[in-house]
Structure 1
Amino acid sequence: MNDLLYFIPVSHHDEASIKQLLADHPQIKFVSLTAVDLGNNSTDEKIPVKIFLEDIENFLHHGVQTDGSSVYLPKIAQINNAKVDLIPDRNVKWMVDYNLANRDNATGRPVGTLIIPAFLYHNGKAVCSRSVLKRSTEYFTSTLKAWLAENDYAREFLGFASDETVEEVYMTMATEVEFWVKTPDYRTDTEKLSASQVLKEQYWKRTVGPVRTAMEQALINLDNYGYHAEMGHKEVGGVPSKLSGMSQFTHIMEQLEIDWKYDEALQSADHELFAREIISETFARQGLKVTFRAKPIEGVAGNGEHHHVGVAVKLSSGRKLNLFSPKNMKDSYLNPLGWGALMGILKNYEVINPFVTSSNDAFNRLKPGFEAPVCIVSCLGHTVEVPARNRTVLIGLIRDMDNPFATRFELRSPNPTSNSYLTTAAVYQAMLDGISFVLEHKSTEAELENELSKKYGEEAAYLEKFREYRSEEDVFEHYTSEERNQLFGVPPRTVWENLKGFESYKEKVSILTRGDVFPEKIIESYQATILSQWITELTNRVIPINEDLIRHYVKLHGLDDITDLDVVNWEKIRSLRNELMKNSLDKQSLFAKIKQAIHKEDFDLASELQVEMMVKMATLKSIYTEYRHNLISFEE
């Protein structure tokens, strides 16, 4: 496997180099253009290499056409105007996806498909997730270069010499992907998982058996593709597996995390997309099933995917600077541009969040008690000299006192199904807004720290008066829910409430549209995409799953060995079952009301009813667990 071609770097994307590489590696039989629509769906197709090489020049410049049925772009690629072009991106790494189950007869090597990241074009305009991030990085870069060329205030605190100019801007991003792995036929025991999580029996413990093998293979495979894998370890969730008489591990249920090195934003987002495929297939070869869902198991830890974002510049003199680090790391947490970038994210998060948290599953993860952030609040550290990591905040400052280049922000709210292209683009747009404020007002580091650390009701030049934005406390233990809502804002509870941020914060949406990064048509299409996904999933998945659960919550006790508590609990269960699911001639169940509200397009009502449903289902599960535990024997 060491002699396989795993990727083609940007430097080899000319026609001659591509032809030679494919000739040297005849096991690569297919080419696939991989684009990502606004719903975070990626494309894959098998184009024979022979066809690709017959007209390679035209392919590289014009790609291939589709009738739009392979992507979802509502309000853009309509059914009567659906032509969409997939255009290759020659400025990022191309990777080769190998099918280990299919060997090339001539070489004996696994058959490979050359994966070429691509853009989606409609009527001559780029309309996909990748194109939004590309526009964001280009706009950020050009704007920053212009500002730093003429702003003496910024040049002074950054330490520019009089003749130095910004030659390059490096917009970096890294992700940490968490996932659950299990043997396919294993039934989840939530109570055992919850107990193990509280006791931290699995956290960073040694992996064994097929999980260890798959983890090691995944890290090696990522390195083959140039990811520079940094770490793989067990996460907080999971229970010990069992060893059968045939030396086979069974009952595997573990949560893992794999990390790799940061890269420039667009390349890093592509890496994440392909990494999920590498990890899934590697574990599948060991007979293990992987899920990247945000909250695959109710009641235990969900899967996060923290996004680390930073900016560095290279000057005409050859010097490189982290754009956020102060001159002296012991004097301040950040320089003024760093303060501005952080404040920009916090102030505008209501229009970033719809790209981060866009599914029912994602909202199931963002609940107090599972180290998942729900409040718009940041953490810097208890002192400048001692960096801190607060796992309860939305965004944290990451610093290394001995390495100014490590200064960056960690956004903790994304999950593995978040659209990293759109999320990162929105974050950079917000950062630019905060930086603009700083450059205009020429605030000192101390003034900016005071503003970010302001108390509720205090006046501020940029941030909102009736909000707080910094806490070094455990925000779930230190504050009540009422205090959190008052200080940090009321978090959305459903996909619909989150999407409404685009309507409620028009002035913040205008920050996204600057530089035509998020054209209004893109935002409209994204809203329509996520709305459609929400109502479809709610109607055809969430409610049917709840119906199946309710049907399993059956009467277990007979007349012997029961107590009054059993009778009372069963009556509560029966009442909740009927209220949630059972219709009569004169009364609708909660499930029916939700469906009717969706049919009438009364999404405010549907959202409120969804919240009510979630509360009642949680209550039902809790009471049934108590009822079941109190029974000595079950009636057959």
Structure 2
Amino acid sequence: MVKDLIYIIRKEMHSEDSLRKILLSHPEIKFVSFMGVDLSGNDTDEKIPVKVFLNDINTFLKGEVQTDGSSVVLPGIATLNNAKVDMVADLDVNWYIDYNNEHIDLETNKPVGTLRIPCFLYHENKAVDSRHILKSAVEHLKISLLNLFKNYPNSLSLFGIKYEDIVSIELTTATELEFWVQTPNDKAETEELSTSQVLHEQYWKRTKGAVRTSLEESLIIMDSYGLEPEMGHKEVGGVKAKLDQSGNFTHIMEQLEIDWKYSTAVQTGDNELLARTLIKETFRKNGLDVTFSAKPIDEVAGSGEHIHVSISVKLKNGKKINLFTAPDHHYLSNIGYSSIIGILKNYEIINPFVSSTNGAFKRLKPGFEAPTCIVTSLGNSVEIPSRNRTVLLGVIRNLASPLSTRFELRSPNPHTNVYLTLAAICMTMLDGIKYAICNNKSENDLLKELSKAPGENTDYLEKDRAYRSEEDVFEYYNDEEREKFFGKAPATVYENLVGFEKYKDKLNVLKENNIFTDKIINSYTLATIERWLMEINYRVLNNYTKEIRNYKMLHSIDRALDLDVSNWMKINEIRYYLMKDSYTNKSLFTRIKEATKINDYSEISKLQVELDEKMKELRNLYSTYKKNLLDI
């Protein structure tokens, strides 16, 4: 790290005078970039010379920066004939300096820096970006809670405070990142990875070589940016690396996790984008590839990104109270219970923002510690907090630290749009809180409702569903029971998006106060479907084509046993079914492509499920076939 570099410009320093002073005293900062986040979670980047920025700072900060709608994902909003998008600087979050360590400024002998300014995207004078949607949702949550506390004073009696005692409502959020690391062009066998995962041979083990160096450097540079990293460690996935003749590790294939400190909601999203960039660049500098894909390797653990949420009040006496923490003998307060039931009841319209890629659904499978059911766990007892890693929404409690009580949404992955997901969480929590406060529901009432059995009538949650389980939901229930008790989980991106149409009453929760408008929902849907179709037709099918072509006949006719011949015939039959056309039959690949041409999304979704099942069957058959051969 280079001495005297500035990494962060906090919101208190966003005035014209302060910025001018900082930039003039740090000539290594050569560029300014306005960073907006579109509805797909993509962040923009450009290079405006600092000289241009300094000539008219005030104009830039007031939103005179424009971009072409083709540079951001806003389908149905920024169209070809109406593409002007304005970028307005966000003055309420931290700004960062992005340094290019491969480009050293000759005058200062320091890496060239770019000041990254988070901003909002406006189209026709209306904010249409992910960051602004989250900001609006948080503001609506805070104002609505204050109004509820004012109109229903008894709602605060549990905490021993009054409405007049409150200075502000604070929403505290955090994310964490799991990712895979490998040496370029080196591959590990899936079976080897799967075996190592089951045996937990890599989980929390000591890192070595370039991986250790990269992990340590990542934590150090994150600290320089004020992210306050809390932990970096090996995750469950990976295999033991090999040593080459020079003593360097090769064939590295490991899964890691990095956690950092909580923040405000929008800042949490910005911090995660920054963390991903820092991690990827740091590992790349040390000759390692990093992927944040939710499921980079089939049949091996995918990468999650748990989202943590809590709500607290700041009082005039300086004290802070976590509104989720129960002052009496309960798992949670009435605000905590009602926030949970709000999320669980409405999760079908949160999920499209959480899982929006093919990799996300490959990760959400039983057996990989990834949740598939809309269910929570509170713990086996109030006195001894516990953690159930099989549920969607976990409760994290520490009796010695009441301020740390929070929820952990376990379904997101590194490609989840954190801004939109947090916005949806805010709106659905508020829906549950309003139900509880307006109907004078006590902790006992809410705990009973949350713990309801299927078929039991309640005032808010659905009659035929259950919402709480302290069991391992993958082991304790069979597939039929899980679906009956907790609802059928969508299997594809399209099935997930159908939730917007299927659950219109729940969707209205997001639309309250125009936080999520019809235009935003429609644009997000169009963008997600387009990406889904592109991934299937130009990545999934292409990758499967290469894989299928590598499944070749390995036995010789004169030395093969009847079992080898039988195994190969089964394999070849599936290979032909998947990708070989004839005059009378069309392959599964061709049927997917034809359904894409006519936008038959339901058919594509159905065929995609069949495709993944057939590929899994093919892999298993080929593994069995190969193991029975003595000579290869």
TM-score (norm 2): 0.99
Q: In the alignment, what sits opposite 1:90? A: 91
Matching residue's letter, 2:476: H
Q: 2: CA distance between counterparts of 1:316 and 1:247?
A: 61
Equivalence map 1:403-552=2 (5 Å): 403-552=401-550
Contact 2:342 2:430 in 1 (8 A): yes
Q: CA offset at residue 205 of structure 1?
A: 0.5
Q: In the alignment, what sits opposite 2:198? A: 198
Residue 363 of structure 2, aligned match among 353, 362, 365: 365
Matching residue's letter, 1:465: K
Contact 2:133 2:420 in 1 (8 A): yes
| Residue-by-residue CA offset, 1:543-576 (whole Å, 9 max, x unaligned) | 1111111111111111244222111111111111
Q: 1: CA distance between counterparts of 2:547 and 2:244?
A: 31
- Cα distance 1:511–1:528, how it changes in 2: closer, same or farther (>3 A)? same
Q: In the alignment, what sits opposite 2:114? A: 113
Q: CA offset at residue 123 of structure 1?
A: 0.3
Q: 1: CA distance between counterparts of 2:70 and 2:77?
A: 13
Contact 1:32 1:44 in 2 (8 A): yes
Contact 1:34 1:42 in 2 (8 A): yes
Contact 2:141 2:426 in 1 (8 A): yes
Q: 1: CA distance between counterparts of 2:394 and 2:298?
A: 26
Matching residue's letter, 2:356: S
Q: 2: CA distance between counterparts of 1:240 and 1:614?
A: 29
Secondary structure of the corresponding residue to residue 143 of structure 1: helix
Equivalence map 1:212-291=2 (5 Å): 212-291=212-291
Contact 1:561 1:632 in 2 (8 A): no
Q: 1: CA distance between counterparts of 2:261 and 2:487?
A: 34
Q: In the alignment, what sits opposite 1:175? A: 175
| Residue-by-residue CA offset, 1:404-460 (whole Å, 9 max, x unaligned) | 100100000000000000000001100000000000111111111111011110111
Secondary structure of the corresponding residue to residue 164 of structure 1: helix
Q: CA offset at residue 166 of structure 1?
A: 2.5
Q: In the alignment, what sits opposite 1:69? A: 70
Equivalence map 1:32-51=2 (5 Å): 32-51=33-52
Q: CA offset at residue 213 of structure 1?
A: 0.6
Secondary structure of the corresponding residue to residue 71 of structure 2: coil
Q: CA offset at residue 92 of structure 1?
A: 0.2
Residue 354, structure 1, aligned to residue 352, structure 2: yes
Q: 1: CA distance between counterparts of 2:563 and 2:625?
A: 8
For structure 1, the 5+ residue unaligned runs are none
Equivalence map 1:134-145=2 (5 Å): 134-145=135-146
Q: 2: CA distance between counterparts of 1:199 and 1:419?
A: 33
Q: 2: CA distance between counterparts of 1:59 and 1:608?
A: 49
Q: In the alignment, what sits opposite 2:571? A: 573
Q: In the alignment, what sits opposite 2:211? A: 211
Q: In the alignment, what sits opposite 1:130? A: 131
Q: In the alignment, what sits opposite 2:187? A: 187
Q: 1: CA distance between counterparts of 2:104 and 2:282?
A: 17
Secondary structure of the corresponding residue to residue 308 of structure 1: strand
Q: 2: CA distance between counterparts of 1:165 and 1:63?
A: 41
Contact 2:244 2:250 in 1 (8 A): yes
| Residue-by-residue CA offset, 1:81-111 (whole Å, 9 max, x unaligned) | 0000111111100000001111111110111
Matching residue's letter, 1:66: T
Q: In the alignment, what sits opposite 2:149? A: 148
Q: In the alignment, what sits opposite 2:21? A: 20
Secondary structure of the corresponding residue to residue 69 of structure 1: helix
Q: CA offset at residue 258 of structure 1?
A: 0.3
Residue 314, structure 1, aligned to residue 314, structure 2: yes
Contact 2:187 2:253 in 1 (8 A): no
- The range that moved more, 17-26 or 147-156, is 147-156
Matching residue's letter, 1:601: N
| Residue-by-residue CA offset, 1:41-96 (whole Å, 9 max, x unaligned) | 11000100000000000000014111212101111011000000111111100000
CA RMSD, aligned part only?
1.0
Matching residue's letter, 1:173: T
Contact 2:69 2:83 in 1 (8 A): yes
Q: In the alignment, what sits opposite 2:298? A: 298
Q: 2: CA distance between counterparts of 1:435 and 1:560?
A: 73
| Residue-by-residue CA offset, 1:180-221 (whole Å, 9 max, x unaligned) | 000002113111111111111110000011111110000000
Matching residue's letter, 2:531: Q
| Residue-by-residue CA offset, 1:235-279 (whole Å, 9 max, x unaligned) | 001111112221211111110000000000100110001110000
Matching residue's letter, 2:22: L
Contact 1:63 1:88 in 2 (8 A): no
Secondary structure of the corresponding residue to residue 294 of structure 1: coil
Contact 1:148 1:166 in 2 (8 A): no
Q: 2: CA distance between counterparts of 1:476 and 1:11?
A: 49
Q: In the alignment, what sits opposite 2:332? A: 334
Secondary structure of the corresponding residue to residue 93 of structure 2: coil
Contact 2:324 2:406 in 1 (8 A): yes
Matching residue's letter, 2:69: G
Q: In the alignment, what sits opposite 1:597? A: 595
Matching residue's letter, 1:39: S
Residue 623 of structure 1, aligned match among 618, 621, 624: 621
Q: CA offset at residue 319 of structure 1?
A: 2.5
Secondary structure of the corresponding residue to residue 416 of structure 1: coil
Secondary structure of the corresponding residue to residue 238 of structure 2: strand
Secondary structure of the corresponding residue to residue 398 of structure 2: coil
| Residue-by-residue CA offset, 1:108-157 (whole Å, 9 max, x unaligned) | 01110001111110000000111110110111111111111221221211
Matching residue's letter, 1:477: E
- The range that moved more, 297-306 or 317-326, is 317-326
Matching residue's letter, 2:92: N
Secondary structure of the corresponding residue to residue 466 of structure 2: coil
Q: CA offset at residue 170 of structure 1?
A: 1.2
Contact 1:149 1:165 in 2 (8 A): no
Q: 1: CA distance between counterparts of 2:108 and 2:396?
A: 48
Matching residue's letter, 1:201: E
Q: CA offset at residue 24 of structure 1?
A: 1.4
Contact 2:188 2:251 in 1 (8 A): no
Q: CA offset at residue 315 of structure 1?
A: 2.1
Q: In the alignment, what sits opposite 1:379? A: 377
- The range that moved more, 363-372 or 185-194, is 185-194
Contact 1:430 1:512 in 2 (8 A): yes
Secondary structure of the corresponding residue to residue 174 of structure 1: strand
Secondary structure of the corresponding residue to residue 38 of structure 2: coil
Contact 2:174 2:263 in 1 (8 A): yes
Matching residue's letter, 2:468: R
